[in-house]
Structure 1
């Protein structure tokens, strides 16, 4: 069976790769001549994967959350005392990146375009997103294997992916009450509600646990990974559980009418509010943050599901 990542490698042992390593991606082929020691991360969440291999980036692109050096609590122990340069979230500052003299730039979750890729490639070899996936929908395991391979840790990456998938399978077995329950990962953006389609990684986490994402959400989303609708259509969220990607207070502030209070999911207490920290882990959806979700989010999902049954 052809490996979907398109990686050509020669393994010396389960954890050690021979260099050079070549990896196919959206804009061509990355060739890594030797193990990288000066890694710049321009993907919004790729730092988690890099840190999980014991590699400390010299620069990390910020995303959101105002976390130190762009690293959230579930990964901060991996960063240790390192103090990487924090790159801007919205733009790629090529001058700053070039001044750091990186030997590898990682941007799997950057949604970079070809022009950006070419500019970065003039600085150092670049691991761009894989061609097989739309922006923001690259599965966590694909991302982890790609980054692990580029850093010379293919064997370790495979072991870590296998172990975490086993944890996810066990979580599903331990919570049979999730099976075939409908669920929606919902949000408010600019005072307008919405929900993530089944292709979104957050929805896929719930599906891995046994929940079902209603087809109506996918139909409204179309080719996008989320669906937006008016408050008059909050009935779309009438599922066995609604996972709000925010604090309860934020959702109550964002709701501009009494529609939510009229909904069965509100009256029957079928809502779970992630809050900021769990919401961050949910949105990062990385090898490290998923483990945090299993510790922090899973028990709350079980509690709400059981109480609402």
Structure 2
């Protein structure tokens, strides 16, 4: 997901933009300091004009009441790159939508006082260029590029935008929703679960640092041991051998979709060797639910929980006679 580095010939343009940061600094005790993967970023005051370069960071900002000046497009056909669960927070705003590589000129023209690079995949060289325009926030150093948990990201962005009180309210509310769900389903606790996808003849599964696996963990599930052992230093998914799908055989097998993989998955012969298949422990996510899990944000997860709860309940009972609505609709029974 890394984007090409902007040509260095743009530095003259950047030099002029950098002068926007020449305002007097606050006393050091009042500065906002952030340690992250590429070093340290300092804000002299909470930011209000924010450019969101992370593929999903617009959700956190919108939840905090901060309308980004620009949003990085990931995928999906939604206005301004904002999916339905976050559209109410966007309202009538019309942020710039950036597709493909990061445009340095576009970012500079928006005169931001903060650039969010969490979950963007930008290189350290791109970070250095962007930092000539405005302070840039990356994921905290203990997390992988796309592995910063939703609450840690929300708290970092809240500190940077002066909205920490709102963040804590949002976090408490969502944690309460997860706690209530776990209380309703004590039988789910400690069971294994996998989020996987199959496309173009390749089957892959998400690992523990990914947002989709994190949502399942918040519900009380855990990854099967074979997948836990595959966790790499910076990987968020793993490809599986077409001859051996046993690493994804779990008490719950959740298939996600980009919208057109059901026929491909239905034809996957080795899927029929899995206990999850024979016991009816599969559930299927359509494009919108898959997107909600993929964003894994404070705004998308409540939507995902509401839709997933009945699906999972039907799947984890281990009774193949129990109809899982999504699997039936997708023709995967």
Q: What's the counterpart of residue 239 of structure 1?
A: 250
Q: What's the counterpart of residue 203 of structure 1?
A: 213
Matches of 2:55 and 2:207, distance apart in 1 = 20
Shift of 1:265: 2.1
Shift of 1:212: 2.4
2:134 is the alignment partner of 1:129 = no
The TM-score normalised by the length of structure 2 is 0.81
1:12-42 CA-partner distances (Å, limit 9, x unpaired): xxxxxx9542222222322222343321100
User: Conserved in 2, the CA contact under 8 Å of 1:112 and 1:128?
Assistant: no
Compare 264-273 and 45-54 and name the one that shifted more.
Answer: 264-273
Shift of 1:252: 2.9
Aligned length: 291
Matches of 2:127 and 2:258, distance apart in 1 = 36
User: Conserved in 1, the CA contact under 8 Å of 2:199 and 2:261?
Assistant: no
1:137-195 CA-partner distances (Å, limit 9, x unpaired): 11111000001110111222123212222221221111112122221111124421121
Compare 217-226 and 234-243 and name the one that shifted more.
Answer: 217-226
Q: What's the counterpart of residue 180 of structure 2?
A: 170
Q: Matches of residues 17-96 of structure 1 in structure 2 within 5 Å?
A: 20-88=31-99, 90-96=100-106
SS across alignment from 1:169: helix
Shift of 1:248: 8.6
> Which ranges in structure 1 are unaligned for 5 or more consecutive residues?
1-17
Q: Is the radius of gyration larger for structure 1 or structure 2?
A: 2
Shift of 1:245: 1.2
Q: What's the counterpart of residue 268 of structure 1?
A: 279
Q: Matches of residues 117-266 of structure 1 in structure 2 within 5 Å?
A: 117-223=127-233, 224-246=235-257, 250-254=261-265, 257-266=268-277
SS across alignment from 1:185: strand
SS across alignment from 2:146: coil
The TM-score normalised by the length of structure 1 is 0.87
Q: What's the counterpart of residue 12 of structure 1?
A: none
SS across alignment from 2:283: strand
SS across alignment from 1:287: coil
RMSD between aligned residues: 2.1
Q: What's the counterpart of residue 11 of structure 1?
A: none
CA spacing shift, 1:32–1:207, aligned 2, 3 Å: same
1:236-294 CA-partner distances (Å, limit 9, x unpaired): 32221110011796143256642223433223221111110010010000111111112
> Which ranges in structure 2 are unaligned for 5 or more consecutive residues?
1-28, 321-333
2:312 is the alignment partner of 1:301 = yes
CA spacing shift, 1:248–1:34, aligned 2, 3 Å: closer
